[in-house]
């Protein structure tokens, strides 16, 4: 037992992206102490290099798939996809943060180090194949994000955002852990495949197993902001700094969904008759709550918070399908959702001005005349969020509902389509403000966007359009990745 505890060199290489991120994160923390005010920006550049290096290591780990550290982690195509996705999210958010922190006078090393540490947790989540690693990864990601949510500590809204995120996040963790404890007691193991093997035997206390799965479901549903566990999301996204809202609504969410699908499609697959009705209900409720509450919002960040609840609902539709087509549809959805949502939040962070004074819909008025390029890119993100053809959002919704139809979920598909039609109303309010209103005070004093900000917006828009015009480029990879879930 103890003789083979020494991990093989190949296992470290599979774990290389996390190691690279940790090393860069610690390096940034150390350098923070010896840099002066003017050199802080270079810490951001260093963390950017770290994320790119981790991304390269992630691509390279594709050549040698397999388990690591006594089956605690498993590096498969699915894990590599989600690791790549959260790293792209981190990259875009760091790029968007340069000018934001400059404007707020809060350019510091900890900020970038915390993003790197949070990414470590999300990478672990993407490859976790043991419930304890799920817990550890979730906490590494969450604790760093709690601090990021309240990073501008003199801003009362930032405090409130961090407080709500922290309290509800740890509440959710407790549920997840209680579920893990029961699964451990029931299966005698926390390994995902082992749990599946135990649950496959008929009559193995399936009511208790269902309860344990339900507790884990509640814990993860909080993290991905699915109704009825969504109440924190609008407040937190509204209160946090805009680049961090972008990060929270894409990175931790994608990683939590990665675990969600891996867990329910492997470990809890044998008891799917128990959880599918639950997921069905939560998917529908999220779409309805998110879309109807978003209709009356005037604050764009809050509106995007509610829309993220609705999008989580669409992704749960794919889980309800409980098929490998559903998993690949959800992977595609998360990729295009991450790009379009980050793009939208980054444009908002640009318009918001110092201390985020301008974040209402009317503050966007006339953006199309003053900054035509930025406005056009924002329009691309909004159209993608609606699901207009030629954008990633269209194919994302298309594949999700196709997967639902394949699994004979006709009612859920119909209700989901009605919901996405309702959603068009509040998204179009943004388009109307951009192009059909006279420029207001907010837009009139807008400086030209910084180069790093432009890079983040262009990259997100480029990705959104690529997914919309050549969806097969990603779809073939996600179908291979999802084929291991049957």
Whole-angstrom distance, CA of residue 354 vs CA of residue 101: 10
- Of the candidates 369, 231, 360, the one whose C-alpha atom is nearest the C-alpha of residue 306 is 231
- Taken in order 267, 410, 287, 482, is the CA torsion positive or negative? positive
**Is residue 108 involved in binding other proteins (CB under 8 A)?**
no
Query: Restricting to residues 412-431, which ones interact with other proteins according to CB under 8 A?
Result: none
> Which one of residues 40, 223, 262, 302 is an interface residue with other proteins (CB under 8 A)?
302
**Is residue 94 involved in binding other proteins (CB under 8 A)?**
no
Cβ proximity to other proteins: between 169 and 313 the closer is 169
Cβ proximity to other proteins: between 62 and 153 the closer is 153
Residue 138 makes CB contacts below 8 A (sequence gap 6+) with 121, 125, 173, 176, 223, 256, 259
**Is residue 223 involved in binding other proteins (CB under 8 A)?**
no
Cβ proximity to other proteins: between 170 and 266 the closer is 170
In sequence order, the β-bridge partners of residue 191 are 130
Joined tokens for residue 471: 């969806």
Candidates 85-93, 148-156, 389-397, 417-425 — which segment interacts with other proteins by CB under 8 A?
148-156
Whole-angstrom distance, CA of residue 277 vs CA of residue 29: 47
Residue 102: which H helix or E strand, with range? Answer: helix 77-104
Cβ proximity to other proteins: between 18 and 155 the closer is 155
Site string for other proteins, 229-258 (x = CB under 8 A): -----xx--xx-------------------
Cβ proximity to other proteins: between 13 and 67 the closer is 67
CB 245, min distance to other proteins, A? 13
Q: How far apart are the first and last CA of the chain?
A: 32
> Which one of residues 184, 369, 458, 462 is an interface residue with other proteins (CB under 8 A)?
184
Site string for other proteins, 189-208 (x = CB under 8 A): -x------------------
**Is residue 228 involved in binding other proteins (CB under 8 A)?**
no
**Is residue 166 involved in binding other proteins (CB under 8 A)?**
yes
Residue 223 makes CB contacts below 8 A (sequence gap 6+) with 138, 142, 169, 172, 252, 253, 256
Angle between helices 242-262 and 300-321 (to 10 degrees): 10
> Which one of residues 182, 247, 306, 383 is an interface residue with other proteins (CB under 8 A)?
182
Size of the site for other proteins (CB under 8 A): 41
What are the distances in angstroms from CA 222 to CA 135, 142, 229, 326? Answer: 14, 12, 5, 21
Site string for other proteins, 262-301 (x = CB under 8 A): -----------------------------------xxx--
- Of the candidates 110, 100, 57, 109, the one whose C-alpha atom is nearest the C-alpha of residue 351 is 100
Are the C-beta atoms of residues 386 and 468 closer than 8 Å to each other? no
Residue 425 makes CB contacts below 8 A (sequence gap 6+) with 295
> Which one of residues 147, 318, 385, 474 is an interface residue with other proteins (CB under 8 A)?
147
Write out the residues near other proteins by the rule CB under 8 A: 132, 135-136, 139, 143, 146-147, 150, 153-154, 156-157, 159-164, 166-167, 170-171, 173-174, 177-178, 180-182, 184-185, 188, 190, 234-235, 238-239, 297-299, 302
């Amino acid at each position: 037992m103890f003789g083979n505890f020494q991990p093989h060199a190949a296992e470290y290489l599979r774990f290389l992206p996390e190691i690279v991120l940790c090393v860069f994160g610690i390096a940034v923390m150390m350098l923070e102490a010896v840099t002066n005010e003017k050199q802080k920006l270079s810490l951001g550049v260093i963390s950017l290099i770290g994320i790119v290096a981790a991304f390269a290591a992630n691509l390279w780990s594709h050549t040698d798939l397999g388990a690591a550290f006594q089956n605690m982690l498993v590096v498969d195509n699915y894990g590599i996809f989600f690791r790549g996705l959260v790293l792209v999210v981190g990259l875009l958010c760091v790029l968007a943060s340069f000018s934001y922190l400059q404007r707020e006078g809060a350019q510091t090393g900890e900020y970038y180090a915390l993003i790197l540490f949070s990414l470590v947790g999300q990478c672990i989540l993407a490859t976790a194949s043991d419930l304890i690693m799920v817990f550890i990864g979730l906490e590494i990601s969450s604790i760093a994000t709690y601090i990021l949510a309240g990073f501008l500590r003199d801003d009362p809204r930032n405090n409130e955002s961090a407080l709500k995120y922290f309290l509800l996040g740890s509440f959710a963790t407790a549920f997840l852990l209680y579920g893990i404890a029961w699964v451990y007691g029931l299966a005698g193991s926390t390994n995902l495949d082992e749990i599946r093997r135990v649950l496959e035997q008929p009559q193995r206390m399936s009511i208790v197993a269902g309860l344990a799965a339900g507790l884990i479901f509640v814990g993860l549903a909080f993290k991905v902001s699915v109704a009825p566990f969504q109440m924190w999301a609008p407040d937190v996204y509204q209160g946090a700094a805009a680049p961090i809202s972008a990060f929270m609504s894409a990175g931790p969410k994608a990683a939590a969904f990665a675990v969600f699908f891996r867990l329910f499609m492997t470990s809890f697959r044998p008891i799917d008759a128990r959880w599918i009705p639950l997921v069905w209900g939560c998917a529908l409720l999220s779409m309805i709550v998110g879309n109807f509450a978003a209709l009356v919002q005037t604050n764009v960040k809050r509106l995007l918070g509610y829309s993220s609840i609705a999008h989580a609902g669409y992704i749960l539709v794919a889980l309800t399908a409980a098929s490998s087509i559903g998993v690949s549809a959800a992977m595609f959805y998360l990729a295009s959702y991450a790009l379009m949502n980050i793009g939208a939040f980054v444009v908002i962070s640009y318009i918001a001005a110092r201390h985020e004074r301008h974040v209402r819909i009317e503050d966007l008025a006339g953006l199309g005349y003053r900054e035509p390029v930025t406005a056009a890119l924002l329009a691309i993100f909004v159209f993608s969020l609606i699901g207009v053809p030629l954008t990633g959002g269209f194919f994302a919704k298309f594949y999700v509902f196709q997967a639902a139809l394949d699994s004979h979920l006709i009612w859920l598909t119909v209700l989901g389509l009605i919901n996405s039609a309702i959603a068009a109303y509040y998204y179009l309010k943004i388009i109307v403000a951009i192009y059909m209103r006279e420029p207001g005070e907010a837009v009139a004093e807008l400086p030209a966007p910084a180069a790093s900000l432009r890079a983040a917006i262009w990259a997100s828009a480029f990705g959104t359009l690529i997914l919309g015009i050549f969806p097969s480029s990603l779809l073939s990879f996600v179908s291979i990745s999802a084929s291991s879930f049957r």
